[in-house]
């Protein structure tokens, strides 16, 4: 995969001249929003590219309609690439993990808009027909996880340790690039359990995947939406109102159902400060 992929309606593009490509596409389509450049919406690569773009396509269209401005989805090949692009201000709007919020704020390029209304947890999932009933049953089991850099991996392992799975009883861990790849390993009998985000678990249940949760981690602040401070204040405030108000109107609730999200609320940078300890420094390129 290239360092990042861009989603325009109906196809993906390498991002070399993504803003020009987006503008040309919109001009060709005769879009009324073509007078202004598209907003680049960066998505954390916590799921496969296909899954992520499909999940956020309804929100992209919703924002386009509410803002009168076209929106292009973009993701990166991995967390490291996504963090680097965030820190140089590549995105106009971005969805990011809660433990990545403090460094984005520290960069001086972003401010927090919203977070998902329900807290984030790591769900310990097994196949629906599995004999495992509680976390303590996973002593010595093979457990699939997302990237070691994912906060879900960290708090999920803490939950298993709290269940007494330490020392000889500790599970064996194998990491995968994304949350859905981790639970796919369980469905494919390549692992006995997986640690995945409650957000991903909700989407999997929405898709009738044969998974069952046998436990969860402690709650922390959920995924956050950040906006580039270079954008006009009026647009930043409008974005916050639109996102936080989705649950208050029919079309917004429909989009949230499609995404399997409960909705957004306004948030502050201070809510994410305690998660700094989960953030490892970026290694040199």
pLDDT at 8: 52
Nearest to 67 by CA among 30, 105, 41: 41
pLDDT at 27: 42
- Full pLDDT tens readout for the chain, 285 residues: 455 566 554 455 555 545 544 444 444 444 444 468 999 999 999 888 998 999 999 999 999 999 999 999 999 999 999 999 999 999 999 999 999 999 999 999 999 999 999 999 999 999 999 999 999 999 999 999 999 989 999 999 999 999 999 999 999 999 999 999 999 999 999 999 999 999 999 999 999 999 999 999 999 999 999 999 999 999 999 999 999 999 999 999 999 999 999 999 999 999 999 999 998 888 776
pLDDT at 22: 46
Architecture per CATH, domain 4-119+221-278, reads as 3-Layer(aba) Sandwich (3.40)
pLDDT at 202: 92
Q: Report the alpha-carbon distance of residue 193 to residue 206 in Å, rounded.
A: 19
Tell me, yes or no, if the two domains 4-119+221-278 and 122-216 fold the same way: yes
Q: What angle do CA 97, 103, 105 make, to 5 degrees?
A: 95
Q: b vs e for 181-203, b when ≥16 Cβ sit within 10 Å of the residue's Cβ?
A: bbbbbbbeeebbbbbbbbbbbbb
pTM of the model: 0.81
Determine the CATH number of domain 122-216.
3.40.190.10
Q: Report the alpha-carbon distance of residue 34 to residue 125 in Å, rounded.
A: 45
Domain ranges of the chain: 4-119+221-278, 122-216
């Amino acid at each position: 995969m290239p360092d990042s992929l861009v989603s325009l309606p109906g196809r993906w593009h390498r991002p070399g001249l993504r803003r020009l490509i987006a503008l040309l596409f919109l001009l060709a389509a005769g879009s009324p929003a073509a007078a202004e450049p598209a907003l680049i919406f960066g998505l954390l690569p916590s799921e496969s590219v296909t899954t992520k773009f499909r999940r956020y396509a309804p929100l992209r269209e919703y924002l386009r309609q509410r803002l009168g401005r076209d929106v292009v989805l973009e993701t990166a090949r991995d967390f490291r690439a996504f963090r680097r692009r965030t820190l140089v201000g590549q995105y106009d709007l971005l969805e990011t993990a809660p433990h990545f919020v403090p460094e984005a704020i520290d960069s001086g390029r972003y401010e927090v808009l919203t977070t998902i209304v329900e807290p984030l947890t790591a769900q310990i999932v097994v196949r629906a027909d599995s004999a495992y009933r509680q976390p303590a049953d996973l002593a010595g089991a093979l457990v699939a996880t997302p990237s070691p850099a994912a906060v879900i991996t960290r708090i999920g392992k803490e939950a298993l340790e709290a269940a007494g799975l330490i020392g000889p009883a500790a599970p064996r861990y194998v990491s995968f690039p994304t949350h859905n790849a981790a639970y796919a390993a369980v469905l494919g009998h390549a692992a006995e359990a997986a640690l995945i985000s409650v957000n991903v678990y909700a989407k999997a249940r929405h898709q009738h995947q044969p998974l069952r949760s046998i436990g969860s981690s402690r709650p922390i602040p959920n995924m956050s939406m950040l906006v580039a401070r270079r954008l006009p204040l009026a647009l930043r405030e409008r974005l916050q109102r639109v996102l936080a108000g989705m649950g208050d109107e029919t079309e917004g609730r429909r989009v949230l159902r499609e995404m399997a999200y409960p909705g957004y609320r306004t948030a502050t940078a201070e809510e994410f400060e305690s998660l700094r300890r989960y953030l490892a420094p970026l290694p040199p390129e």
